[in-house]
């Protein structure tokens, strides 16, 4: 092997192989390809295949391999495939899929399909699905898998290892083993590493780590992901209301949860936060139905419109000043916008620091942030004000009084925007909402309103005499 490839075969080879096998319906060939290729790559290669072809290929596999591959398709694709599969194969999927994935699939079935499916399953599977599927989307329970290894505290290390070996094939992970008493309450955890390095005759209770980090099934799933990341866990135990362990959340799911949440946070910051109660589902540009997409976005645009009305009403009231000094109108936008620009910068920097745990909701941290932002915002204000004044002079040849108004207003708006922007995430967290809900458009609109007050306020102070003179003449 002279060159290392990053996957079993190249993407082009994989696409070619998939197309060939689709035509030939070669069961042995496909099973071999599945063995050599990571499910994520296979699913990607099958993106452009038709539903019928994909189902035909899936049916070439044995039920366990089929279920493993099926679980890697995106949810929307899974639903399409399911509708085209024979009933027998659907039941087999529910028998062999990982417990968290099949609970999700179950929740996406219509009521009728669910009623038809349940009687065909063994009681153990039916109970498992119903239990995991009962947790609402967005909770820890909805991402929990019941395929974990557990032992009793009084077992010896040797017995525990034997149990791990025996039950391993069906488990999501065997590297963290959970120690439960006879009531299924979590007494501790022990890693496979600890078991392997311990004395065979020691008991599990002597080796285990007590008081493990855990999550409750009703907590938001993001909390589970944060715990996993904070403590560097491979898996996190999940308990129900009665403190009985029901399953685990694994680190790979935690990575997906955080990725999804961070991507959605960016979209919320763009002005698409959905303010519905309990388990709000974030907007998805390809999948969210028109009605909801329109509804959430128009809500914010209406809010922003009202802010805009306030701003424009105020500006219109300054007709007298504007008719005297028409050119003042030309600077409204650049000056009030700059407040939103610096505010957007500082707000996102603070949100970033909060996400990384560097800044918390404490007065001490708020003070640290302001102490750092103040000089920067002031310096930015001075530089941008000078720049704007210079450009205004050379491009429009405005008089010194207008230059002064423009410069002072720009300085104030820029610096104030930075300070206000830095404070907004604290305010949002204080009222218990994600800082990104105070979106960039909202920050900009608020700073627009603040900005016009500042602008015209300064204009009246500086040019008030001019105005009175002109009115008197």
Nearest CB to its own copies, comparing residues 4 and 28: 4
Stretch that binds its own copies, among 21-29, 54-62, 231-239, 456-464 (CB under 8 A): 231-239
Does 199 engage in binding with its own copies (CB under 8 A)?
no
Map residues 82-121 to x or -, x wherever contact with its own copies holds by CB under 8 A. Answer: ----------------------------------------
Residue 341, CA distances (Å) to 318, 381, 391 in order = 25, 11, 19
Regarding beta strands 186-191 and 176-180, do their DSSP bridges make them parallel or antiparallel, or are they unpaired?
A: antiparallel
> In angstroms, what is the minimal distance from the CB of 404 to its own copies?
17
Q: In what order do the strands lie in the sheet with 176-180?
A: 149-151, 176-180, 186-191, 209-210
- Both structure tokens of 101: 């994935």
CB under 8 A: which stretch of 21-29, 59-67, 251-259, 461-469 binds its own copies?
251-259
If 0-12 CB within 10 Å is exposed, 13-18 middle and 19+ buried, where does residue 29 land?
middle
Sign of torsion, CA 430 435 437 443?
Answer: positive
Task: Map residues 329-368 to x or -, x wherever contact with its own copies holds by CB under 8 A.
Answer: xxxxxx-xxx-xxx-xxxxxxxxxx-xx-xx--------x
Two structure tokens written together for 470:
């002109």
Residue 238 has phi, psi (to 5 degrees) of: -120, 130
Q: What angle do CA 95, 96, 100 make, to 5 degrees?
A: 95
Q: Are strands 235-239 and 176-180 parallel, antiparallel or unpaired?
A: unpaired
Q: Is position 293 an interface residue for its own copies (rule: CB under 8 A)?
A: yes
Q: Is 188 helix (H, G, I), strand (E, B) or coil?
A: strand
Q: What is the dihedral of CA 91, 97, 101, 107, to 10 degrees?
A: 10
* Residue with smaller CB distance to its own copies, 122 or 316: 316
Q: Which residue stretch of 52-60, 87-95, 134-142, 225-233 sits at the interface with its own copies (rule: CB under 8 A)?
A: 225-233
Contact status: 263 vs its own copies (CB under 8 A):
yes
The verdict on 211 binding its own copies (CB under 8 A) reads yes
Residue 59 and residue 27: Cα distance in Å, rounded?
A: 9
String marking each residue 4-43 x if it binds its own copies according to CB under 8 A: xxxxxx--------------------------x-x-x---
When binding is defined by CB under 8 A, the residue of 383, 400, 430, 464 that contacts its own copies is: 383
Contact 204, 263 (CB under 8 A): no
Q: Which of the stretches 19-27, 99-107, 112-120, 432-440 binds its own copies when contact is defined by CB under 8 A?
A: 432-440
Residue 206 found at the interface with its own copies (CB under 8 A):
no
The residue range among 95-103, 104-112, 125-133, 309-317 that interacts with its own copies, by the rule CB under 8 A, is: 309-317
- The yes or no reply on residue 158 touching its own copies (CB under 8 A) is no
Q: How far is the CB of 57 from its own copies (least distance, A)?
A: 21
- Contact call for residue 247 and its own copies (CB under 8 A): no
Cβ 466 to its own copies, closest distance in Å? Answer: 18
Residue 229 interacts with its own copies (CB under 8 A): yes or no? yes
Listed ranges 122-130, 137-145, 200-208, 307-315: which one lies at the site for its own copies (CB under 8 A): 307-315
Q: Which stretch binds its own copies (CB under 8 A): 54-62, 90-98, 102-110, 286-294?
A: 286-294
- Binding of its own copies at residue 68 (CB under 8 A)? no
CA angle 19, 20, 24 (to 5 degrees): 120
Distance in angstroms (rounded) separating the CA atoms of residues 151 and 164:
9
Classify residue 35 as exposed, middle or buried by CB count within 10 Å of its CB (0-12, 13-18, 19+): exposed
How is residue 282 annotated by DSSP? Answer: P
Residue 145 in contact with its own copies, rule: CB under 8 A? no
């Amino acid at each position: 092997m002279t060159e290392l490839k990053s996957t079993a075969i190249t993407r082009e080879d994989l696409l070619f192989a998939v197309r060939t096998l689709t035509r030939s319906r070669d069961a042995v060939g496909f099973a071999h390809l599945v063995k050599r290729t990571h499910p994520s790559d296979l699913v990607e290669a099958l993106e452009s295949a038709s539903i019928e072809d994909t189902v035909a290929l899936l049916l070439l596999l044995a039920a366990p391999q089929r279920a493993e591959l099926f679980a890697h398709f995106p949810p929307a694709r899974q639903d399409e495939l399911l509708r085209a599969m024979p009933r027998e194969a659907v039941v087999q999927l529910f028998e062999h899929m990982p417990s968290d994935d099949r609970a999700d699939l179950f929740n996406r079935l219509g009521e009728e399909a669910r009623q038809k499916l349940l009687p065909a399953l063994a009681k153990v599977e039916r109970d498992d699905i119903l239990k995991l599927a009962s947790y609402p989307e967005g909770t820890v329970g909805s991402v929990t898998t019941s395929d974990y290894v557990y032992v009793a505290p009084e077992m010896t290390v040797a017995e525990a290892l034997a149990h791990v070996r025996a039950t391993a094939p069906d488990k999501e992970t065997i590297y963290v083993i959970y120690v439960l008493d006879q009531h299924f309450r979590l007494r501790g955890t022990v890693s496979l590493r600890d078991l392997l390095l311990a004395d065979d005759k020691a008991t599990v209770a002597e080796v285990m780590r007590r008081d493990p980090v855990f999550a409750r099934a009703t907590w938001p799933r993001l909390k589970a992901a944060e715990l996993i990341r904070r403590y560097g866990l491979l898996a996190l135990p999940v308990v129900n209301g009665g403190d009985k362990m029901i399953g685990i959340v694994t680190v790979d799911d935690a990575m997906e949860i955080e990725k999804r949440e961070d991507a959605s946070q960016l979209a919320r910051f763009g002005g698409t936060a959905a303010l519905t109660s309990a388990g709000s589902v974030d907007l998805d540009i390809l999948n969210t139905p028109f009605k909801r997409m329109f509804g959430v976005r128009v809500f914010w645009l209406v809010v922003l419109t009202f802010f805009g009305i306030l701003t424009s009403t105020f500006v219109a009231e300054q007709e007298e000043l504007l008719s005297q000094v028409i050119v003042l109108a030309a600077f409204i936008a650049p000056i009030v916008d700059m407040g939103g620009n610096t505010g957007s910068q500082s707000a996102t920097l603070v949100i970033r620091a909060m996400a990384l745990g560097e800044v918390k909701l404490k007065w001490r941290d708020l003070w640290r942030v302001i102490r750092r932002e103040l000089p920067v915002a002031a310096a930015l204000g001075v530089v941008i004000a000078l720049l704007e004044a210079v450009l205004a002079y050379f491009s429009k040849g405005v008089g010194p009084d207008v230059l002064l108004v423009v410069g002072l207003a720009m300085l104030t708006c820029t610096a104030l925007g930075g300070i206000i922007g830095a404070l907004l995430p604290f305010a949002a967290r204080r009222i218990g909402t994600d800082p990104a809900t105070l979106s960039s458009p909202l920050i900009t609109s608020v700073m627009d309103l603040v900005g016009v007050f500042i602008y015209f306020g300064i204009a009246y102070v500086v040019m008030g005499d001019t105005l009175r003179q002109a009115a008197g003449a």
